[in-house]
Amino acid sequence: MTELILVRHGETDWNRELRFQGQVDVPLNATGHEQARRLAGRLAAERVAVDHLASSDLVRARQTAAPLLGQLLPALSIETLTDPGLREQSFGLVDGLRVPDIQRDHAEAWARWLRFEPDGGMPGGETARQFHARVMDALQRLAQAQPGRTVVVVTHGGVLDMVWRTAQGLGLAGPRRSSIPNAALNRVRLSEGGGIDILQWADTRHLEGLPAQPVYDQTRLAAASGAQA
């Protein structure tokens, strides 16, 4: 089994504005850089034996990976370790928009989004089923290339949601049910057959004292929409 240390990228200004970042290349803000430094410092202080690192090719993930490489794997280069398969879900036409913008300009798409159907997606974007298949393929390829090793994977909130759902056997329908903070520590074991066991999830002890994180709460958004209907 391959152990994955899964990391959602550090905070961006668009996280704070609760925008759909999707696959837009948004850099970390000052808090995000500090979150990344603290995570790297924690893993180094705990002498976590890391054999390899893989990252989404989007800049917010690469910037989060940089201090991890510096502390844990200084001989490696981020340019050789990126995988587009680890990108966030594509939201098509609404990439970069805030929820009120989507509600105003894409009301029908927003209503479909809140039904959380596996084959539903934003116009021009990926469905949940397509996204899940891409993520699982990327992780399986990584596990096959690094059997029995410990790999840090720097990626995105949606990717971690797909991992959580798979591990818990939840399926793809319904709102997100797991906590996925920026730069938290998440550990799973991935078997050759695709099974996932969660060892640790949403550990943010190294982020103590930093500003409270913005939370994209799908359940709350769905409830609010129902109340307004």
Task: Record the tokens describing residue 60, joined without a space.
Answer: 């917010």
CA gap 211, 165 in Å, rounded: 28
Confirm or deny that 92 is annotated as ligand binding. Answer: no
- The alpha-carbon radius of gyration of the chain (Å, integer) is 17
Number of domains in the chain: 1
Q: What is the mean pLDDT of residues 66-71?
A: 96
Confirm or deny that 8 is annotated as ligand binding. Answer: yes
Largest CA distance in the chain: 56
105 pLDDT band, cuts 50/70/90, is: very high
Read off the pLDDT of residues 153-195 as tens digits, 9 standing for 90 and up. Answer: 999 999 999 999 999 999 999 999 999 999 999 999 998 777 9
Range(s) of the domain holding residue 220? 2-187+200-228
Does any domain span residue 37?
A: yes
Does any domain span residue 153?
A: yes
Confirm or deny that 10 is annotated as ligand binding. Answer: yes
Does any domain span residue 151?
A: yes
Does any domain span residue 145?
A: yes
Does any domain span residue 33?
A: yes
Q: What is the mean pLDDT of residues 59-86?
A: 95
Confirm or deny that 11 is annotated as ligand binding. Answer: yes
The domain that holds 85 is classified in CATH as: 3.40.50.1240
Read off the pLDDT of residues 18-31 as tens digits, 9 standing for 90 and up. Answer: 999 999 999 999 99
What CA–CA distances, in Å, run from 207 to 8, 14, 140? 13, 19, 30
Does any domain span residue 194?
A: no
Strand partners, 7: 154
Residues 78, 69 contacting (CB under 8 angstroms): yes
DSSP 80: G
Active site residues: 9, 88
Residues 66, 79 contacting (CB under 8 angstroms): no
CA gap 229, 214 in Å, rounded: 26
Does any domain span residue 193?
A: no
Does any domain span residue 195?
A: no
> What's the whole-model pTM score?
0.95
